[in-house]
Amino acid sequence: MSDSLPVCEIFSSIQGEGYLAGRRQIFIRLTECNLDCSYCDTDFSVKTYCQAESAPGSTEFEPIRQPVTLQTLLGLLANWTADMPGAHHSVSFTGGEPLLSADILALWFPAIRRILPIHLETNGTLHAALAQVVDHLDFISMDMKLPSTAGLSEQLWDMHRLFLHTASTTDVSVKIVVGDRTPAGEILHVCDLISKVNSSIPLFLQPMTLPGGECGISARHLLQLQAQAAQQLPDVRVIPQMHRLMGVL
Ligand code: SF4
């Protein structure tokens, strides 16, 4: 089997969402997704070249021919961690949906993990693919897609339940994007699902960001939803997309 993958971008920045918010990571953005969320701003077109920062945090990019090999990626990670010892907390695989590439990631992760811990950002729907790689992961940030904000035609609750069961063998947290139309019933559904797996799993409420950049939920409604969740779970936090506030990638 090839050990190469199409990669959209490789860059160094501050994690702006969820459990690892504030940690500096090396982000590896993969190109495909199995969902079509209404608020998605990801460009899914597969480019001829992966864009990789020429130096970590430089915001200047240079092309790497696709598909990116494990050897190329390991060389880049080794250089960046040698140039900036201790600066990076972990490597974050994001998308798109990285688990669409689980076959290759199962080959990549053991070698990458010898350099830095691995964080997976996922839409939480592909539990069989997660089972292929979960033993190599240090952190999982799992989205649960709410009908009120993701605007998907399909209900994903059963997929999220199966996924969370598999993810619960490692350090998993759950993120939901909430907006003015998010009803209490959806929050209770999320809390019930988490409670049945492990009620100590942290839940992050992330205010929806509208296309113009404004917040898509009133403070009053946000606080109501937080209070409802906090009645069900001990670790509920509200964090907006901080990388937008910082103006980083
Ligand atoms: S899961 Fe993420 S990448 Fe995929 S469509 Fe939804 S927002 Fe976009």
Distance of CA 93 to the CA centre of its chain: 7
Residue 101 CB partners (closer than 8 Å, separation 6+)? 5, 30, 32
Tell me: pLDDT of 41 over 90.
no
Q: CA nearest 33: which of 97, 79, 124?
A: 97
- With 0-12 / 13-18 / 19 or more C-beta atoms within 10 angstroms meaning exposed / middle / buried, residue 228 is middle
Distance of CA 56 to the CA centre of its chain: 20
Whether 33 is in the pocket of ligand 1, judged by its Cβ within 6 Å, is yes
Q: What percent of the chain has pLDDT over 90?
A: 87
pLDDT tens-place string over residues 52-69? 999 999 999 999 999 999
Tell me: pLDDT of 217 over 80.
yes
Q: What is the mean pLDDT of residues 182-188?
A: 97
At 15, the pLDDT band (50, 70, 90 cuts) reads very high
**Which numbered atom of ligand 1 lies nearest the CA of 41?**
8
* Mean pLDDT of the chain, nearest integer: 95
Tell me: pLDDT of 219 over 80.
yes
Whether 149 is in the pocket of ligand 1, judged by its Cβ within 6 Å, is no
Whether 123 is in the pocket of ligand 1, judged by its Cβ within 6 Å, is yes
Give just the sign of the alpha carbon dihedral 215, 241, 27, 31. negative
Q: What is the mean pLDDT of residues 3-10?
A: 94
At 1, the pLDDT band (50, 70, 90 cuts) reads low
Nearest residue (by CA) to ligand 1, atom 7, is: 40
**Which numbered atom of ligand 1 lies nearest the CA of 95?**
3
Which one-letter amino acid corresponds to residue 227?
A
At 246, the pLDDT band (50, 70, 90 cuts) reads confident
Q: What percent of the chain has pLDDT over 70?
A: 99
Report how far ligand 1's centroid is from the alpha carbon of 244 (Å). 17
Report how far ligand 1's centroid is from the alpha carbon of 229 (Å). 24
Whether 43 is in the pocket of ligand 1, judged by its Cβ within 6 Å, is no
At 249, the pLDDT band (50, 70, 90 cuts) reads confident
Identify the H or E element spanning 139: strand 139-143
- Please indicate whether residue 140 or residue 2 has the higher confidence score (pLDDT): 140
Report how far ligand 1's centroid is from the alpha carbon of 150 (Å). 9
Whether 184 is in the pocket of ligand 1, judged by its Cβ within 6 Å, is no
pLDDT tens-place string over residues 95-146? 999 999 999 999 999 999 999 999 999 999 999 999 999 999 999 999 999 9
